[in-house]
Each structure stands twice: as C-alpha cells, then as structure tokens.
Structure 1
Amino acid sequence: MKKPNLILAGGDFLLAALIPALVGMFLAMRSGGGMPVSFSHGLGQSLVFGLAVVFSTYFAELYRGDRRFRWKETCVRILIAGLMAFLILLLFYAVTPQSQWLPGQLVLVLAGVGLAQLLWHYRYPILLRFPWISQNVMVLGTGARAREVAGLIDGEQNPFVFKGYIHPENVVDESAEESVCCKMEKLKELIRRNQVKKLVLALTERRGVLPVGDILWCKLHGVEVIDSVTFYEKVTGKLKLEDITPSWFIFSDGFCVTRYVLWQKRMFSILLSGVGILLALPIFPLVALLIKLESPGPVFFCQERVGFGGRVFRTFKFRTMRQDAEQETGAVWAQSNDPRITRVGRFLRKSRIDEIPQLFNVFKGDMSFVGPRPERPEFVAMLTRKIPYYGSRHAVKPGLTGWAQVKYPYGASVEDALEKLRYDLYYIKNYSPFLDIVIVLETVKVVLFARGSR
C-alpha cells in the first residue's frame, strides 16, 4: 500500500478505535462502572473496531490511489463498509460474548465512525502538502520523458510537489513551459530555496550532458537522486519498458529469484491451493451438471500453457465455450461478448469459478498461486518476437492470480500483453511475501466485483 493510502487507513483506524473507546467510557460512567474499568474493557474493543473498519473499508475500495470518488459514491462505499464491519463484529461478539456491544449500540457507533470517515476522506489530501509528508521534486530534463514525469506528479493522491524542470545546458528547451524551466547553473540555489527532496533524471541522452558534479552535490546534501524509469515504477506499480536498457535490468535492485524465494512461493502455493481445493470440492458436481445441461462436450477444458523456464504444461479449467470454439479460427484471444462462450460459461468467467480446477495445477507444482498469467505457446512465440523482455516473465512459475491480473483487465491484443508485462516484471522485480498477500486480497475484491473477466 502506498504512503497516501497508509495515511488514509491509519486515520480510519484511529477514528474507529477512538470513537468506540469514548462511547464505552461514557456508558461505563453512566452505569457507575467507573472510568478505569471502562477504559480497560474498551481498549480491546477499540482495536477490534479499528481492524474491522479498516478491513471493510479496504474491501469497499476506498483505498484506491488511482482515483478519487465523488461525494455520493464515497457515502455509498462507506455505508457498505459499515455493513461489512457490522457483520464482522457480530461474528466476533458471537465467539467472545464477554466483550459484546448491543446491536443498537453497535449501529450507533458505526454510524458515528462512518460520518467521521466521510469527513476524513475528503480532508486528508491537505495532509499530503505538509512538509513532513510531501516531497518537493525537480526534474532534470525538458523533453517528453521529463513531461511524463511531471504528469505523474500532478494529482491529489500522491505526496509529490512538482517544483520545475532543469535544463542541463544554458538554453532552455522550448518543448517545456519556459515559466517552469530553470538553468543548471542555478541548481544549488534552487535545491535550497525549494527544499527539494527528490531529483529525477529524465534525460534521453546522458553522455556528455549529465552534470555529474552537481548531481553528486545534491546526493551529498540529502537529495534523493533517481532516474525516470525508477520514479515511474514507484508511482505506477509497473515498469516503463520503452525506456529500459539491459544494463538497467542487470544493475537495478530486485530480480533476485533465488532458490529460497522459489521455495517460499512453493510453500505458500501448497497451503493456499490445498485449502482452496477442500473448500471448492463440494461445488464441482453442481458446476459439472450445469455445463452438461447446456452444451455437449467434456466438463473440463485442457489446454497447453507455457510455464517456468519456458516449459509447456497442461492446465485445467471448467469448459466455458462450445466444444468446437476454435475449430475454424485456431488460437485466438477471447473478446468482449464472445459468441463462443455459453450462458453458463459467461457466469463461470464472471465469477472466476472456471479457474478453480487450476488449483490442482498449483498443488501439483506446474503453477504458483501468485505469478504471471500462463499464456498459450502460440501467443508466447508471437509476443516474444514483438515485445522486448517478454521471455523474462518465465523466470518464475505462472500464477492462478497475479499483479497484472488484479491491476489490468483481461488482455486480448499485443498492446494489452505489453501493458500486462509491465506489471508482471514489476512483480518479479519487487517480489515479497507481503506483495503476494496484497495480491491475494486484491484478487478477492476482483472476484467479488466481477472485474476484468470476459
């Protein structure tokens, strides 16, 4: 979760923890229980309230950094989060009756928390402009790459403040607005006056142009110096493949796929796939019956996919198309409102139930629970010719879900494959168990809201 979202979630937690504690103290004092007993009793409740509200608000998608909701939509989402929190807390109180709130009291407290959240969510962007949170940024360069960096900074949902372009030569490039361009000779003065914390290098060509001495001075005086590719990665959660060179891959942090990493992912995959299989087995007969009733053919659909190291394996899914779907066309991507998909198949795709048999592929070891989407050999051969670094995604096992799957809708073109590759390589570069957990939670939201399927 990015810094602004952490601030937002932290504020929600404090509100959700503080309001029940205050109500608890008030009720205890009125009943004659005394403040110390009330505070001791209310502390545990406050922590549970805070976690329940933040968890519910996360699943109501109010921590999305890529968009800001309108007032009415925010109200609806806070109402949904409050309902989810109410159900979670009722379940918690059912197993811990000694710390129970009455349902009427719970509704009133959650209503108060919701109103406080509404005000907080609309006022928190002000905090992002405080000096101890915001980061003043200057961009070295004035071309298209520099303007792209400035465009990433522009917005209310990030803590960056754009302070201007710097041209390394004595003449300001006309491709950027002259009012925000500064000459390199004034760099030290600009850094001090604007309290710059980050300098982004956005030069297309650095040889003979890069002012090494001045940049070294910035670094020695507490200014973070990064290139535009790294800045793009930090802000967007994907890689800018067009600007990446092989040397960047070699010398950048990350992309360290060790045996320990692979073992760690394997244990995580076995655990989740095993639990998933046990939970899903009861619905297999019902799904099989529905598929058979609508169209003739097998229940399961077997298909070759490319996995770890380029090895081809067979994956299993519930059949969602006619049996002869590719008899005349060969291998093609599924399109929106694809006529080859059956009515039952459309439901299975929307709910992602068709993917459940792939849990056996995960448990077997052909796939991981989290990783790049496994692609068909025909598409891999074509995409490898057209997209640089496409083969790099096979450095880890493909996944039932992944960073690209939760961040980008279903891909059905070379352009979509390129965009998803940006996310896949970001995942491989920045892999951590925490990132896998985030992806699993995001996958639950994708399934609940039926996003991105075809």
Structure 2
Amino acid sequence: MSKRILLLLTGDIVVAIFALLTAFLIRFGELPAPGDLTRTGTVRVIIFVFIMIFSSFFVEIYNLNRYLGGKESAARISISLLISLFILSCFYFMAPLFVYDGMVLIFSLFIFGTLQLAWHYLCYISSRFSGFSRRVLVLGTGPLAQQIGNLIAAGNQNYVLSGYVNCASEPLDVPPQNIVGNEERLYETVMRARAHKIVVSLSERRGIFPLQDVLSCKLSGVEVVDAPTFYEQVTGKLLIENITPSWFIFSHGFRVTALLRYFKRMIDLISAIVLLLLFLPFFPIIALLIKLDSQGPILFRQDRVGEKEKKFTLYKFRTMGVDAEKDTGAVWAKEHDPRVTRLGEILRKSRIDEIPQLFNILAGDMSLVGPRPERPEFVNKLKEIIPFYSERHCVKPGVTGWAQVQYPYGASVEDAIEKLRYDLYYIKNLSMAFDLMIVLETVKVVLFRRGGR
C-alpha cells in the first residue's frame, strides 16, 4: 500500500477519534470519563472509526491517480458522511448499546467531514512542494528509461524526475536536455541532483553497469531499485516485458505459504456459505426469469483452467443463447455481444451471473479472490505469446481479483497481457489484508457497474 495512502488513513483515524471526543465535549460539556472508554465504549469508538474509513474508501477518497479538487472532494466526503450516517443508524436500531447519542453522532460526522477535507487538502499541498517530493534519477537513456521517465512525469505518485544518466552503448530515446550526467561520474551527479532514488533502467547491463558508483550511492543513503520494481511500486502491476526468471526468484514476495493457504481456504468456505444463504431465496426468481427470457438450461457450464493448470467446470447463470459458439468456436467476449440475451445483459452488468461460482468455491476449485480462470483454448494460445503466463496458475482462480477491479473486461491478447501484470502483482503480494481490500473494491465495481460485458 502506498505510503501516501497510509498517511491519509492514519490522519483520518486520528481525525475520527478527535471528532468523536470533540462532539462529546460539545454535547455534554465534558470529555468522556475513563470508565466510558472501557468495554462498550472502546467498541463504539472502533465501530465509528471503521465505518468512517470504510465509507471514505467506498467513495474513493483515497484515489491517488489524480487530485480530486476542492469541490469534488467535498462532494465525495458529503456522500461518505451520508453513508456513514445510514450505517450507524442501522447499528443504533440493531445494537443501541454500541452507538452514541444522536446529537453526538451528528456533531462528530460534521466535525470529521470538515477536518478530513482540510487534512486531505493539506497533504495534497505539501506533496506539491519540492522539499516533500522524492527526486528520481533514471540510469539509462533507452526505451526502458523513457518508459520510466514518462511514468514519473504522469505524476501518479509523489516523485519528480531529476534527469537521466547516459551510459555507453545505450540508445538515446529520452530528451537530450534532460540528461544530467554519465555513468563515469554517477556519484557526483546523484549528489548534485540531490536524488533520493536511482532507477536502473538499462536495456543491457553487461559491461556497462557502473557497479562501484551505484554501490557508493547506496551506501550514502540513496535508494537503488531496478525498473520493474519501481514500475510495480507506482502502478500496482508488474512490468513483465523486462522481468527475468531470476527476478522472480530473488524479489520480495511470491511466498504463498501453507498457513496462508489454510486461512484463505477457511475464509473462502465461510464466505461462500454465508453468501449462498443470502442469495438462495433469489435463485428461483432468477431461474424463472432466465427460462422466460430464452430457451435452454438455467446454469451455464464451461471448462476453465485452475490451480496447477488443472481443468474444472465453472458454473454461471446462463447469459447467452444455446450453442452461441456453435459456428464460431471459442471467441473473446466483446462489447454489445450479439450472443448475449436481454436478461443476460443485466445479469452480466450486475455480476449476478457469477453467483453460482460460490459452489466452485465450496468444491475447492476456486477461491473468493484470485486471478480470473481462463478457458483452455485461450490459455494454450496465451502461454505461447505471453512470458510467465503459466505463473498465474500457482494459486486458485478467484470469483473476483486484483485484475478484475483494476482493469475492464479482457477481450484480446493485449488485454490478457495487461491483466497478467495485475495477476502477478497480486500473487507476489498475496495477503489476507490485500484480499479484503479487493473485496471492498469489488463491491464498488458491482454497484457502479464497471467493466462488465
């Protein structure tokens, strides 16, 4: 998780607690006694803080791709407060012991919203000052260096480009005016540019990598990373074109332990059972609508490739006509696909067609979160074209996943490459906290109907 997100989250947690205490002071003229902060009091504080952070996350307050602006930030925070008020009101009726007085709640929400807006704006202003930005020096001038330079210039993170360092035999694909030195005097160039980080972006390192100078920079406190690692840090996906097998072996991550698999499986089983109990009453209604809309079975069965490239049968509510691929064979789904029925369009956009995959979770073929399982016909083709494509099968496929919430529905080889970047990033950084974040993102994707076809 980005350090900036952690900074915003930490500030919002402090602001939430401060808002609660201030509202208590305004309402009763005194701060809560120490006894009020024990047992139910502590639970009430935790509930309030969690709901405020969840609502903020839900309306994408922590979106770092761009600054939202004062008006949009205020609008999103207002929506977040309304969501928080609704959830906390539900808590009040269900468990009044864990919710504060109504006036305390209103005051605390108003104070939190005001301070949150000020805190986020302060963080944005401070990140614009050069003294708070992290200066990056790119070692190389070739196409890879150009890609990293463009990534920094996009401004998605708190980085500024200090310039490029030219190395012998490297092509010149970057603006000449941005070259600030060469590899022979790298240490002096780094000190002169006051760079915080060096990104090694050489097309070929053998024979030209300035080992001693880079080592001197690292021992002087300058962070040194390679281009794939920097790309991962900024974008949340992997630069698979410039990754070698040794990078997979020696990089941090890619450790899916037996204990992690066990906890993940337990959560999958509990989640699948709870969700099935919630959705089972609606199954007859959905089945009836499918039958009335078009002839054919209610459930659609299709072979998919799962963990360790084992095939399994995936279940979905049918959204296409019978024998939709009889004449064409296996083809990518596309926007406004004529094979999709009228009801199928609604089921796909709302992701209701995915609900039967909960049975796949119970059977152990899938997980709640993981890479999307692909069809065998496409897997065989993609393995020949895309490097490291098979590595996505080292974990169970998921009903939802990092690629699904970050990228629209894939319908081509190019889309498969882009989604693989996210899938490998997920496997590299797999954790229960990451899974929880993906589930929360999935809720937003479903409600706002993003990316379905």
TM-score w.r.t. length of structure 1? 0.91
How is 1:209-220 mapped onto 2 (pairs within 5 angstroms)? 209-220=208-219
Secondary structure of the residue aligned to 1:196 is coil
Q: Match for 1:245: what amino acid?
A: T
Alpha-carbon separation, structure 2, partners of 1:186 and 1:40: 64
Conserved 8 A contact 1:24-1:38: no
How is 1:375-394 mapped onto 2 (pairs within 5 angstroms)? 375-394=374-393
Moved more, 356-365 or 422-431: 422-431
Alpha-carbon separation, structure 1, partners of 2:322 and 2:404: 26
Q: CA deviation at 1:39?
A: 10
Aligned to 2:4: 4
Alpha-carbon separation, structure 2, partners of 1:425 and 1:100: 42
Conserved 8 A contact 1:393-1:421: yes
Alpha-carbon separation, structure 2, partners of 1:129 and 1:197: 16
Aligned to 2:33: 37
Q: CA deviation at 1:330?
A: 1.6
Aligned to 2:359: 360
How is 1:18-417 mapped onto 2 (pairs within 5 angstroms)? 18-29=18-29, 34-35=30-31, 37=33, 40=36, 44=42, 47-98=46-97, 100-103=99-102, 106-128=105-127, 134-169=133-168, 173=172, 175-417=174-416
1:188/1:170 Cα in 2 relative to 1: closer, same or farther (>3 Å)?
farther
1:10/1:157 Cα in 2 relative to 1: closer, same or farther (>3 Å)?
farther
Unpaired segments ≥5 residues, structure 1: none
Alpha-carbon separation, structure 2, partners of 1:6 and 1:36: 29
Q: Match for 2:219: what amino acid?
A: L
Alpha-carbon separation, structure 1, partners of 2:171 and 2:421: 33
Percent identity (aligned): 50
Conserved 8 A contact 2:324-2:339: yes
Conserved 8 A contact 1:25-1:38: no
1:388/1:282 Cα in 2 relative to 1: closer, same or farther (>3 Å)?
same
Alpha-carbon separation, structure 2, partners of 1:313 and 1:139: 46
Q: Match for 1:202: what amino acid?
A: S
TM-score w.r.t. length of structure 2? 0.91
Conserved 8 A contact 1:172-1:178: no
Q: CA deviation at 1:157?
A: 4.5
1:180/1:13 Cα in 2 relative to 1: closer, same or farther (>3 Å)?
farther
Q: What do the CA deviations read for 1:54-110 (whole angstroms, capped 9, x no partner)?
A: 110101111122233344433332222111110122133335535654545534442
Alpha-carbon separation, structure 2, partners of 1:328 and 1:387: 28
Conserved 8 A contact 2:164-2:178: no
Alpha-carbon separation, structure 2, partners of 1:67 and 1:297: 47
Conserved 8 A contact 2:187-2:214: no
Alpha-carbon separation, structure 1, partners of 2:395 and 2:208: 38
| CA root-mean-square deviation | 2.6
Conserved 8 A contact 2:22-2:108: no
1:206/1:172 Cα in 2 relative to 1: closer, same or farther (>3 Å)?
closer
Q: Match for 2:202: what amino acid?
A: L
1:13/1:261 Cα in 2 relative to 1: closer, same or farther (>3 Å)?
closer
Alpha-carbon separation, structure 2, partners of 1:89 and 1:207: 61
Alpha-carbon separation, structure 2, partners of 1:391 and 1:171: 32
Q: What do the CA deviations read for 1:243-288 (whole angstroms, capped 9, x no partner)?
A: 1122222332322344444334322322222222222211111110
Q: Match for 1:336: what amino acid?
A: E
Q: What do the CA deviations read for 1:336-363 (whole angstroms, capped 9, x no partner)?
A: 1112212211111111110010111111
Conserved 8 A contact 1:170-1:183: no
Alpha-carbon separation, structure 2, partners of 1:54 and 1:161: 30
Q: CA deviation at 1:165?
A: 1.5
Q: What do the CA deviations read for 1:94-142 (whole angstroms, capped 9, x no partner)?
A: 3553565454553444234323333333332233357996433211112
Alpha-carbon separation, structure 2, partners of 1:36 and 1:377: 62
Pairs aligned (count): 450
Q: Match for 2:17: what amino acid?
A: A
Alpha-carbon separation, structure 1, partners of 2:28 and 2:408: 51
